[in-house]
Structure 1
Amino acid sequence: MNLQALHQYLQGRTEPVCAYLYDLAHLRRHVQGLRRSLPDQCQLFYAIKANSDAPILQALLGHTDGFEVASLGEIERVRAVDGGMPIAFGGPGKTDAELEGALAHEVALIHVESEHQLRRLDWIARRHGRVADILLRVNPEHVPQQATLRMGGQATQFGIEEARIPDLIELARTLPGVRLRGFHIHAISNNLDAQAHLALLEHYFDLAEAWQQRHCLTIDWLNVGGGIGVNYADPSASFAWEGFCAGLSALIAARRPACRIVFECGRFLTADCGYYLTEVTDIKTARGRHFAILRGGSHHFRLPVSWQHDHPFVVLPRDVWPYPFARPAVHGATVTLCGELCTPKDILARDVPVERLRAGDCIAFLLAGAYGWHISHHDFLSHPHPERVFVDG
């Protein structure tokens, strides 16, 4: 979707604009390209927590190898659009009802995050006359790479610490309700360095290979998580996917792992298919600083606040001005883009330069297709929800 298409959306609208627009054709092209570049031994799952809307999931059917979910509700969202898509079920807090639901919905793999979760799953599966295929989720002892979020290499609620994995392997072998199929190692999120990510995967290969040899294991799956980032500070400096895939091919050729290598990416797939459009309702100056008040904010688009960054945007000028008095504006200055909520934390970009911004213009926030609407506190202050438009073609 280009800027012309965004301008066309704005034509003739009289109410203050507030909308998400998602480009499904672009999403399919993007994911097809990512998947095509991966080595044959690899599979690409979509982590639907990034954006679980039915049109997004439907657009990805046939273009990914499966979906990764983190709740029974997400399992049901997948099954509502497709009855047979492979599902991997992660998350540290799975309830008995969720484990039962995973079995009932024919989830392909359940990522086990603790001994207690393992024992409960075995107990539930045996009661239903089932055997659940599992991966043990590992919290590795050492993760040298830096990223926005770290789930491993330190004390967190995620996974089983590396030192305990041998005991859990042996325990799993004694439980008739589970079948150990491999390991899940997802230690960091939003990594922008392709070479660092290759080194991280080599570390994962080392761990899996050591456990295979020590325990005479045959594993079918090594889920290396997602963690591949999106550069919100400079969208033109994206993760070097092609170079990463070339390096991964060389790594696989050298190490010759016998299992499938599974990625479960979310943000990296859907971020750039979405835009958040919101109208400037007022511009004001306080103590020498300029503020643009938006019809919208973090109750619709919480990502910038939760990650504490200035989100990239473009200004969409609108020349219609219905009032008989002067139009508030700022020229050649920095401005802070604020939402409509009654809190000073409702800021989507702080002190960013603009050539011209007027009340009545629109802001189009880029890279809003992942972790935008879906992580936001929609009904705080009971403002109207944004329109949500899915464009295909």
Structure 2
Amino acid sequence: MREPVCRYEYDLGALARHVREVVAALPARCRMFYAMKANSAAPLLRTLAPLVAGFEVASGGELAKARAAAPGAPVLFGGPAKTDAEIAEALDEGVERLHVESILELHRISAIAARAGRVADVLLRVNLAGPFPAATLAMAGRPTQFGIDERLVTEAVVAAKELPGLRLAGFHLHSLSNNLSPEAHLEMLELYRRTVTGWEAEFGLRCDVVNVGGGIGVNYADLAAQFDWARFTDGLRRLVDTFPGHWREIDFECGRFLVAACGSYLTEVLDVKRNHGLCYVLVRGGTHHFRLPVSWQHSHPFTVRPVEAWPPGLPRPEARGEPVTVVGELCTPKDVLARDVVVDRVRPGDVLEFAYAGAYGWEISHHDFLSHPHPEQVFV
């Protein structure tokens, strides 16, 4: 018996074209790393490896995937809760830099590096006080688990300079996520410039590297109105001219912005029914495959692919020109992919295609809840 359609499709050619354009527009000294947390599928990593400066990983597992897909690619290691084993593995694997999230972590890296007779290049990730422009998700300027409180920078710098086995290469500042405004992003980078040059003067430092994180977003509400990379990089060129000359690298580590558009999630409609005045479209799949919509609390954009074939003798309910809520096969009312979206027509047997599903879809989903089959993964 035929299984209902349920798959991810990735267009690797479109991915390569997009990333080439993104990287080519960066001014001198700026480098683009790929943040693997967005999607760590091996075919995507192999496609990206020759196009980006390297990979940013946040676990030993991601490090292993990066090494398997692109053995010689430079790697940055971040993440708020590194284990001793992960730190030791990162040093053994020759990662370029570790992004340090606390003073205790500095001491742990120092002890592991000293025992191994190595010197670890580190960036201090600092949770700045702000204020910052508005974005979907704030990573700094408020209490979070990320980075070193700006009030503790003096203590962190002293430790990084004095502890054995460490070389303080610079700072990592990642304050916003899913920002859609080029002007706001440039404003934030100007704050970074003022802040880091102030620390350099205060502590007698000369930074090799300033990592400005990622945080460039995707507009899921209007797919035609995406972040204007050309406008941003035009402003970035002027801004970089004001950065100190000894900053040999300004590193970006983007994930969603690089890979979201290359992936789609396709799932077959199993039923259309009404319940207490609302119309529900039930699909083969759901948030256990594609958790992004419920995670970000949005209705994910989709189109209906009509399928005319239908078994004779079976009723085929439909919705026409009315709002529908798309739900999955899980036994929870939170299994919602899109809510109150007006469709021209949808029936059981049709296929829904959710666009811009290449980032934080499969990677963040609770795959085995209810033990349903996993979707196919197709790389074109």
Report if TM-score (shorter chain) is over 0.5.
Answer: yes
Separation (CA, whole Å) in 2 of partners of 1:323 and 1:223: 61
SS in 2 for 1:374: coil
Residues 124 and 256 of structure 1, relative CA distance in 2, 3 Å threshold:
closer
Q: Do the aligned residues in 2 keep the contact of 1:92 with 1:159 (CA within 8 Å)?
A: yes
Q: Single out whichever of 118-127 and 166-175 deviates more from structure 2.
A: 166-175
Matching residue of 2:262: 273
Matching residue of 2:314: 325
Q: Do the aligned residues in 2 keep the contact of 1:302 with 1:372 (CA within 8 Å)?
A: yes
Separation (CA, whole Å) in 2 of partners of 1:170 and 1:366: 48
- One-letter amino acid of the counterpart of residue 357, structure 2: A
Alignment of 1:176-195 (within 5 A): 176-195=164-183
Cα drift, residue 326 of structure 1: 2.7
Matching residue of 1:210: 198
Matching residue of 2:22: 34
Q: Do the aligned residues in 2 keep the contact of 1:45 with 1:263 (CA within 8 Å)?
A: yes
Separation (CA, whole Å) in 1 of partners of 2:188 and 2:306: 44
Alignment of 1:370-385 (within 5 A): 370-385=359-374
Q: Single out whichever of 14-23 and 127-136 deviates more from structure 2.
A: 14-23
Matching residue of 2:55: 67
- One-letter amino acid of the counterpart of residue 362, structure 1: V
Matching residue of 2:115: 127
Matching residue of 1:137: 125
Backbone CA RMSD of aligned residues: 1.1
Task: Give the TM-score, by structure 2 length.
Answer: 0.98
Separation (CA, whole Å) in 1 of partners of 2:348 and 2:312: 11
How high is the sequence identity, in percent, across the aligned residues?
55
Matching residue of 1:254: 242
Equivalent in 71, 83, 106 of residue 118 of structure 1 = 106
Consecutive unaligned residues in structure 1, runs of 5 or more: 1-12
Separation (CA, whole Å) in 1 of partners of 2:12 and 2:245: 35
Q: Do the aligned residues in 2 keep the contact of 1:143 with 1:152 (CA within 8 Å)?
A: no
Q: Single out whichever of 336-345 and 79-88 deviates more from structure 2.
A: 79-88
Equivalent in 289, 296, 301 of residue 290 of structure 2 = 301
Cα drift, residue 14 of structure 1: 3.9
Separation (CA, whole Å) in 2 of partners of 1:152 and 1:138: 8
**1:310 partnered with 2:299:** yes
**1:229 partnered with 2:221:** no
Number of equivalences: 379
Q: Single out whichever of 124-133 and 254-263 deviates more from structure 2.
A: 254-263
- One-letter amino acid of the counterpart of residue 146, structure 1: A
Alignment of 1:93-104 (within 5 A): 93-104=81-92
Cα drift, residue 82 of structure 1: 1.9
SS in 2 for 1:368: coil
Matching residue of 1:171: 159
Q: Do the aligned residues in 2 keep the contact of 1:151 with 1:186 (CA within 8 Å)?
A: yes
Separation (CA, whole Å) in 2 of partners of 1:325 and 1:138: 61
Alignment of 1:345-356 (within 5 A): 345-356=334-345
Separation (CA, whole Å) in 2 of partners of 1:248 and 1:229: 17
**1:338 partnered with 2:332:** no
**1:57 partnered with 2:7:** no
Equivalent in 88, 95, 100 of residue 107 of structure 1 = 95
Separation (CA, whole Å) in 2 of partners of 1:115 and 1:151: 19
Matching residue of 1:147: 135
- One-letter amino acid of the counterpart of residue 266, structure 1: G
Matching residue of 1:25: 13
Separation (CA, whole Å) in 2 of partners of 1:274 and 1:27: 9
Separation (CA, whole Å) in 2 of partners of 1:310 and 1:19: 19
Residues 65 and 324 of structure 1, relative CA distance in 2, 3 Å threshold:
same
Separation (CA, whole Å) in 2 of partners of 1:381 and 1:199: 46
Matching residue of 1:365: 354
Separation (CA, whole Å) in 1 of partners of 2:317 and 2:67: 50
Q: Do the aligned residues in 2 keep the contact of 1:143 with 1:200 (CA within 8 Å)?
A: no
SS in 2 for 1:373: coil
SS in 1 for 2:307: coil
Cα drift, residue 254 of structure 1: 3.1
